[in-house]
């Protein structure tokens, strides 16, 4: 996935950046409680811990 190399490093977790890249490529909805995901252009559903 080349898009992973151009994502900003706001999120330090490489697996989370991979999820964000996958969501952007396939226009998927992400469910998360991680507020750092809001720094990226992805559609989110917020959940609590």
Cα 40 to Cα 31: distance, rounded to the nearest angstrom: 14
Asked whether residue 46 carries a pLDDT value surpassing 90, the answer given is yes
Q: What is the mean pLDDT of residues 38-49?
A: 89
What pLDDT score does 45 carry?
A: 95
Model pTM score: 0.72
pLDDT digits (tens, 9 = 90+) for 3-36: 555 566 666 788 888 898 899 889 999 999 999 8
What pLDDT score does 17 carry?
A: 85
What pLDDT score does 18 carry?
A: 87
What pLDDT score does 6 carry?
A: 55
Which of 22, 18, 48 is closest to 35 using CA atoms?
Answer: 48
């Amino acid at each position: 996935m080349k898009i992973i190399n151009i994502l900003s490093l706001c999120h330090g977790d490489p697996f989370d950046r991979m999820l964000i890249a996958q969501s952007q490529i396939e226009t998927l909805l992400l469910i998360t409680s991680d507020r750092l995901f809001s720094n990226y252009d992805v559609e989110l559903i917020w959940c609590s811990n």
